[in-house]
Amino acid sequence: MPRKFLPRNVRRSIKQRVVWHRFGTTCAVSDFNILGLKLDSKLIEYDGPTEAQANASPSLLFVHANGYPPGSYRQFLGPIKRHFRVYAAQHRPLWAGRKPPVKVDWSCFADDLLGAVDQISGQSVHLIGHSMGAVAALQVAASRPERIASLTLLDPVFNSDWQLLKFRLAPRRKLLEIPLVRGALRRPEYFLDQQEAFHFYRGKRAFANFDDTALWDYVDASNEPCADGRVRLRFSGAWEAAIYMS
């Protein structure tokens, strides 16, 4: 997407240049551990320097893609935390229930992200968004440019008005034929354990370029334990498909 098509107030107000980048599927560089929920919110997970270091460190908020919880990016974010106080926003499929609305409006993700930005005190925030997360990050930068120090977009999803209109007018049966939608709806919701989940994804083409460490990060971030001992997808296939159809 050419820079001239970015919202004018984003171009004028963000001091550092906007960057977008083709994000490779392999992310194996260093160690990153998400410590858990902070700030009494379901929106944010946090990791970064020690508390003493954090007082002098700039804040960076990472926004994940559809179906990839923040922990999936552990190795990608590892080197960044040496220089930033790193937060990771969680999209609402991870905290708002497993059943999505009939129609998903992506503006809700930007609204949630605005709430996350408002919870980060101090100076302006550096934003990095991947795929759907990049779109939400761009919308936040457009509406609150004074809070954004820099904006980095990884594989942003940009569609023309004509493409969006076709999506909105298409009957549901046609949307269900989209390969990404079919794949999301066929994804197993439950596995006997994490090992079974790992072996399942290891054989999938979408994860062919993930090394074992990166794939384990995805598996650990994507599943939660159940009372019966099995593990279940945190980001449900129904939510993932609904987002692809929107």
Half-sphere exposure of 47 (CA within 13 A, CB side): 20
- Bridge pairing between strands 190-191 and 223-225: unpaired
Amino acid, single-letter form, for residue 51: E
Three-class SS of 150-195 = EEEEECCCCCCHHHHHHHHHCCHHHHCCCHHHHHHHHCCCEECCHH
Tokens of 26: 């392999």
Q: Which three-class secondary structure string do you get for 215-233?
A: HHHHHHHHEEECCCCCEEE
Q: For residue 109, give the amino acid letter.
A: F
Q: pLDDT for 37-60, tens place per residue?
A: 233 344 555 565 555 455 668 899
Instruction: Give the pLDDT confidence score for residue 164 in this predicted structure.
Output: 77
- pLDDT the model gives residue 242: 93
Arithmetic mean of pLDDT over the chain = 80
CA distances from 221 to 42, 47, 105, 108, 168 (A): 15, 15, 25, 23, 32
pTM of this structure: 0.79
Q: What angle do CA 111, 170, 236 make, to 5 degrees?
A: 50
63 — pLDDT class (breaks 50, 70, 90): very high
Looking at 20-34, 70-84, 141-155, 216-230, which range is the least confident one?
Answer: 20-34
Top pLDDT among 231 and 120 is at 231
Convert the pLDDT of each residue in 3-31 to its tens digit. 434 444 444 443 333 444 433 322 222 22
